[in-house]
Amino acid sequence: MSDSQSRVCILGGGFGGLYTALRLSKLPWSKSETPEIVLVDQRDRFLFSPLLYELVSGELQTWEIAPPFEELLANTGIRFHQAAVQSIDLDGRNTTLSTGVDLAYDRLVIALGGETPMDMVPGATEHAIPFRDLEDAYQLKERLRVLEASDQDKIRVAVVGGGYSGVELACKLAERLGERGRVRLVERSDDILQTSPEFNRNAARKVLSDLGVWIDLDTTVESIGPDSFTLVYREQRDLLPVDIVLWTVGTRVNPVLDALPLPRNSRQQIRVDATLQVEGHPDLYAVGDLADCHDADGQQVPPTAQAALQQADYAGWNIWASLQDRPLLPFRYQHLGEMMTLGSDRATLTGLGIQLDGELAHVARRLAYLYRMPTLDHQIRVGLNWISKPIRDALSINA
């Protein structure tokens, strides 16, 4: 970085962080004003998390849903640091990485996302598996492989949390395990998918029923052991045998931010203005799960991948505008609907006046996610692989 060149540091390479960096790199900078764009993430791969379920079921491969940052950022001018964030000095405009590197910044984007709290019940940390990143998916796949290779008659899996992640996981696992599977979905409220449209909820209920998933509503987990867990329903406790417990409940803001004197809500999310600048800190931007954001129309922005993608467009533009002394744009969130996978060839989709379920929704979901993959090169590689897969499968069967 030259003495006159500004630097934009982006902490976190998820949807909010990576897509902000890519947006920034494509904006109309003059040669003398182009900032150094630095992306920091502790992992070497971006994760397209809505497709993580397909990694467990074997429908997709790691390279399709988790391409390396080095590949995605080639020829973009974006510099990548693989490191954890150790500390942030707001007064000195500097962030220190776990590798010992200090990065001074003119604009900082905090997009570190969240983590699944595993200390909500005794035994969860030791015996349950979260489902948020590649390591979680690999751990689950290995546990399934061992159980499937054993002579055990039934494989008992409990998925804690009846939200989107829990329902999608339960469907994939029940389908994978087939007759050997005994999949249980545990939800503390009186219904699954509380925030989902009724159409999607009904479609999910039907598929769960068809797959033989047992749903425990109004039920909480009291504790988890190595081969059993305790459920509480109307003050009645049941100790049940279980082989795998998957924990999909809750989100906690990245603990590296705990020491920062930033405005927060009751869930410890960082409060931002409609321009996505942290309140009282015009050089800081926060996007994604950790941002408490109300858009220009006052609506609460949900902590979803869809919202993070939209925030990235605005964050990139507003950083460009702030460095060019131009007016910033207030973020306007557009809810484009929701999609859920309900098995290898079933999904549900609502949005923009459309309601689909079954195989057609499955195809539409895949195409929508293909379009949203981070670079054109990756879209082409994955798209060609998806198109050619039925041909390869047919040839292997006939071989």
25-40 pLDDT, tens digit per residue, is: 999 988 778 899 999 9
More confidently predicted of 44 and 391: 44
Note whether 369 and 310 are same-domain residues.
Answer: no
Cβ 52 vs Cβ 65: under 8 Å: yes
Note whether 311 and 278 are same-domain residues.
Answer: yes
Q: Residue 397: its pLDDT value, please?
A: 63
Q: Residue 399: its pLDDT value, please?
A: 58
Q: Are strands 228-233 and 102-104 parallel, antiparallel or unpaired?
A: unpaired
Q: What percent of the chain has pLDDT over 90?
A: 87
Note whether 285 and 354 are same-domain residues.
Answer: no
Q: Residue 253: its pLDDT value, please?
A: 86
Note whether 185 and 103 are same-domain residues.
Answer: no
Note whether 243 and 129 are same-domain residues.
Answer: yes
Note whether 288 and 269 are same-domain residues.
Answer: yes
Q: Are strands 347-351 and 354-358 parallel, antiparallel or unpaired?
A: antiparallel
Output the pTM of the full model: 0.93
pLDDT band at 351 (very low <50, low <70, confident <90, very high): confident
Closest CA to 219 of 185, 187, 255: 187
Instruction: Indicate the Cα dihedral angle 339, 136, 121, 218, nearest 10°.
Output: 30
Note whether 241 and 256 are same-domain residues.
Answer: no
- Residue 76 domain-assigned? no
252: its two tokens: 């906690």
What backbone phi and psi angles, to 5 degrees, belong to 11?
Answer: -100, 110
- Residue 136 domain-assigned? yes
Residues recorded for the chain: 399
Note whether 132 and 242 are same-domain residues.
Answer: yes
pLDDT band at 396 (very low <50, low <70, confident <90, very high): low
- Residue 2 domain-assigned? no
User: In this structure, what CATH number is given to the domain that contains residue 21?
Assistant: 3.50.50.60
Segments forming the whole domain that contains residue 171: 124-247
- Residue 143 domain-assigned? yes
SS3 339: strand
Q: Residue 37: its pLDDT value, please?
A: 97
pLDDT digits (tens, 9 = 90+) for 295-331: 999 999 998 999 999 999 999 999 999 999 999 999 9
Closest CA to 128 of 114, 118, 138: 118
Note whether 264 and 239 are same-domain residues.
Answer: no
Cβ 324 vs Cβ 24: under 8 Å: no
**Domain final position from 264, 288, 323:** 323
392: its two tokens: 């390869």
Alpha carbons 69 and 171: distance in angstroms, whole number:
31
Note whether 157 and 173 are same-domain residues.
Answer: yes
pLDDT band at 374 (very low <50, low <70, confident <90, very high): very high
pLDDT band at 394 (very low <50, low <70, confident <90, very high): low
**Domain final position from 196, 230, 247:** 247
Quick one: 376 exposed, middle or buried, by C-beta within 10 A (0-12, 13-18, 19+)?
Answer: exposed
**Domain final position from 247, 275, 305:** 247
- Residue 77 domain-assigned? no
Q: Residue 392: its pLDDT value, please?
A: 67
**Mean per-residue pLDDT, 159-175:** 97
Contacts of 76 (CB under 8 A, 6+ apart): 21, 22, 25
pLDDT digits (tens, 9 = 90+) for 82-115: 999 999 999 999 999 999 999 999 999 999 988 8
- Residue 49 domain-assigned? no
Q: How many domains does the chain have?
A: 3
Closest CA to 72 of 39, 119, 103: 39
Note whether 181 and 294 are same-domain residues.
Answer: no
Note whether 239 and 267 are same-domain residues.
Answer: no
